[in-house]
Amino acid sequence: MYTVADLRKGLKVTLDGDPYLVIAFDFAKPGKGQALYRTKLRNMISGVILDRTYRSGETFEPASLEERKMQYLYKEDDHYCFMDNQTYEQVHVSEAAMGDAKNYLIDNLPVSILLFKEKAIGVEIPNFVNLRVTQTDPWAKGDTSGSDSKPATVESGYVLRVPPFIEEGELITIDTRTGEYSTRVKG
Amino acid sequence: MDDNWTLAARRNALIARATIIQEIRRFFIEGGYLEVETPLRIPAPAPEAHIDAIPAGNWFLQTSPELCMKRMLAAGYERLFQICHCWRAGERGSHHLSEFTMLEWYRANSDYLDIMVDCEGLIRTLVSGAGRGTSITFRGMTTDVGGEWERLTVEEAFDRYSETSMEEALALDRFDEIMVESIEPKLGMERPTFIHDYPASRGALARLKADDDSVAERFELYIGGLELANAFSELNDPIEQRRRFEQETAYREELRRQAYPLPEPFLGELASMPPSAGIALGVDRLAMVLLNAGRIDDVVAFTPDEL
């Protein structure tokens, strides 16, 4: 069981029997008032998004989902196809249910497919993934301020801001919970 | 730079933040205010229903320098300001840090309306100093600080932005939720908003209005939907102050929150405090607004998660 203070983006909870994904979470406290937790929750079956404010002390049951390790194969129309390495069974996950995970998909990426009543309704990817930079402008030499960033495209097609010293062809680590650059993979 | 790019990337924000703090100091020194430092670790924080202090040894880290600064007013210091760290347990979010930087200022022989004028002067000075003339862009909204600022009573704010009146909200115990969901996001958009005259029950250290004791002379300042400061005409009746502290302590015990000893030296000296007004302004949030930062994390060198 979670208390509301444990909630964070990416957590899955049960509301009225359905699995919900926390897609936004923030702490609020109007002047001298009580602590409140503002959440945005997406119903993982219907896709309906709820805005809910909770008081401290509220509790949640984790969503009862089955997790199966699978491998990403390919995208077809608005579906993503994954394969179970043991049984060779293939499942499809809709683009909407993929959420931000679709930004980091590369061939053979190991993922967990989330099943609810045997239907694939979501995907879990590692918190950190390493992706190669396929396009970024060169660093203007002499700029040592360290305060600027520049856009870069990685092999999955995702575009993010990276430090100026990152060059094309380099491998970088991305934090998939925030979508932000984390570090450069050395060597 | 390669090892901690997040920190390196905050360079411009941290330089701007330092400038803001230097300009705040200059503003108050030029206004005849004395800069003071009071202890950060104290034996008895003011008991307030929803503010939790962090224990430090057998004492506590301050949640605000308020009580020590009021003891200085009582001792005859007339204009005071302080920039210091404060701690509040369990507060962390996109605009909350458990350890944060507070600016407080107090003035004798004044009320909360005088503090509103101070706020206007301070923020206009900081905005023009940053070379922005009179407007701030924050969260996609341009707020003009040069003209007349909005003054809205809490009751009017409920009438304007919520289907529930203030009175109903209090009766239903929905005041805070409605404030957060429906009212705060509308405050301080085209111009800054002072939302004032809070229900008497929501200002444990504030003086009640002379002509209406159902409301306290308290205001909050908002820019771009973000709460920046809380101010009062200060209560200086020691008997009433003791009664309110006991009430807040009883409420805290009901919620099974840690009880604090009563701040006896403060209560003992309060009768000597002249009619005064004071304010607590969050410096990190002020920096967010002035620098158009989306998260409080963007304007500090380190968050607790990075230590």
Listed in sequence order, the residues at least 6 apart from A15 whose beta carbon sits closer than 8 Å to its beta carbon are: A41, A50, A60
Q: What pLDDT shows up at residue A165?
A: 87
The interface residues of chain B toward chain A in range 212-251, judged by CB-CB distance below 8 A, are 220, 227, 230
Question: Which two tokens mark B38?
Answer: 């009071």
Q: pLDDT by residue (tens digit) across A99-148?
A: 889 999 988 788 999 999 888 999 999 999 999 999 998 876 655 554 57
Mean pLDDT on B197-221: 94
Distance in Å, alpha carbon of B177 to nearest chain A alpha carbon: 7
- CA A177, A181, A183, A187 torsion: positive or negative? positive
Q: Which of A30, A31, A146 sits opposite B9 (nearest CB)?
A: A146
Q: Which of A32, A147, A183 sits opposite B202 (nearest CB)?
A: A32
Site from B7, B88, B177 to mutate, A interface, most A CB atoms within 10 angstroms? B177
Whether B285 contacts B291, CB under 8 Å: no
Q: What pLDDT shows up at residue B5?
A: 82
Whether B63 contacts B87, CB under 8 Å: yes
Mean pLDDT on B173-196: 96
> A149 versus A162: which is more confidently predicted?
A162
Q: What pLDDT shows up at residue A108?
A: 78
Q: Which domains does chain B have, with CATH numbers?
A: 2-306 (3.30.930.10)
Q: Which of A33, A53, A184 sits opposite B2 (nearest CB)?
A: A184
Q: What pLDDT shows up at residue A85?
A: 86
- B154-166 CB burial, b ≥16 within 10 A, e <16: bbebbeebbebeb
Q: What pLDDT shows up at residue A109?
A: 83
Please provide the average confidence, as pLDDT, over all residues in chain B: 95
Whether A35 contacts A4, CB under 8 Å: no
Mean pLDDT on B194-222: 95
Say if the Cβ atoms of A33 and B202 lie within 8 Å.
yes
Distance in Å, alpha carbon of A60 to nearest chain B alpha carbon: 19
Name the least confident of A180-184, B28-32, B180-184, B212-216.
A180-184
Mean pLDDT on A42-59: 92
pLDDT at A59 over 90: yes
Q: What pLDDT shows up at residue A110?
A: 85
Q: What pLDDT shows up at residue A144?
A: 56
For the CA atoms of B290, B294, A5, B246, the dihedral, rounded to the nearest 10 degrees, stands at 10
| B90 chain-A contacts, CB cut-off 8 A | 5, 35, 56
Q: pLDDT by residue (tens digit) across B111-146?
A: 999 999 999 999 999 999 877 789 999 999 999 999
Question: Which two tokens mark B39?
Answer: 């202890």
Complex ipTM: 0.90
Q: What pLDDT shows up at residue A106?
A: 87
**Which residue stretches of B2-65 are H helix?**
5-8, 11-30
Say if the Cβ atoms of A33 and B179 lie within 8 Å.
yes
DSSP B183: I
Nearest Cα to A146, choosing from B306, B19, B7?
A: B7
Whether B238 contacts B229, CB under 8 Å: no
- Across the A/B interface, how many CB contacts are shorter than 8 Å? 72
Say if the Cβ atoms of A183 and B5 lie within 8 Å.
yes
Confirm or reject contact between B203 and chain A (CB < 8 A): yes
Name the least confident of A43-52, B35-44, B159-168.
A43-52
Please provide the average confidence, as pLDDT, over all residues in chain A: 90
Q: pLDDT by residue (tens digit) across B257-302?
A: 988 999 999 999 999 999 999 999 999 999 999 999 999 999 999 9
